[in-house]
Amino acid sequence: MTETKPIRVVMVDDHPLVLGGLQQLLGANPEFDVVDTCSTVADGWQSVVAHRPDILLLDLRLKDGEGLTLLRRLEPDKPPAVVVLTAVQDENVLLEAARLGARGIVLKAMAPRVLEDCIRAVHAGERWLSVDGLDLAQRLSRRREVEEELESVLTPRELEIARLVHLQLDNEEIAARLSISVGTVKIHLHHVFDKLQLRGRADLQQLFREKGY
């Protein structure tokens, strides 16, 4: 009989008590092998490269930035599969995590067995994207439909900036996120408003809401 290999997990969370508790929880189960624990985006990335885990268990609020930053560096269709474990309940943030490739999302307030079940499911190739009755997969599908509609009018860069405006980022934050100047952001936004016949940011955000984004 072939012995089943344990699921190799790297955990990234900036709360030592949380990391310790998770390590104790998963370490007590022979199904899981916690190969490393980290508290920053930088250390998490280095650990993924060094250990090549099956699962990356990732918080969204870290000492040196957002867990989303680490998600952006990973390739969605290649290991590790990402399970987000977070206290964040903002729908836009959770949808962004799913858009960037997270295959499972669990709130920290949920029972420990939920996390274990999620890790097993994600490792088996499933998605675990229902949070407190909110079907993130369905919501993400609708967002993609809206983006496809807007792609017929906007360039990819204009669409990305419009999407970040919807996420409540200001021009400085958008510039930092995309590594471009604030002036370039303003130029792109001018084109977005012109092409969509909008008066400004408030109209753009209203447009996204009306389309169910």
Give the pLDDT of residue 1.
Answer: 46
pLDDT at 2 over 70: no
Radius of gyration of the chain (CA): 19
Mean pLDDT value across the chain: 92
Model pLDDT for residues 88-121, shown as the tens digit of each residue: 888 888 999 999 999 999 999 898 899 999 999 9
CA gap 160, 165 in Å, rounded: 9
CA gap 59, 83 in Å, rounded: 9
Which whole number is the average pLDDT over 173-178? Answer: 92
Domain boundaries along the sequence of the chain: 7-136, 151-210
Q: CATH fold of 7-136, please?
A: Rossmann fold (3.40.50)
pLDDT at 146 over 50: yes
- Evaluate whether 121 touches 128 at the Cβ level (below 8 Å): yes
CATH number for the region 151-210 comes to: 1.10.10.10
Give the pLDDT of residue 64.
Answer: 82
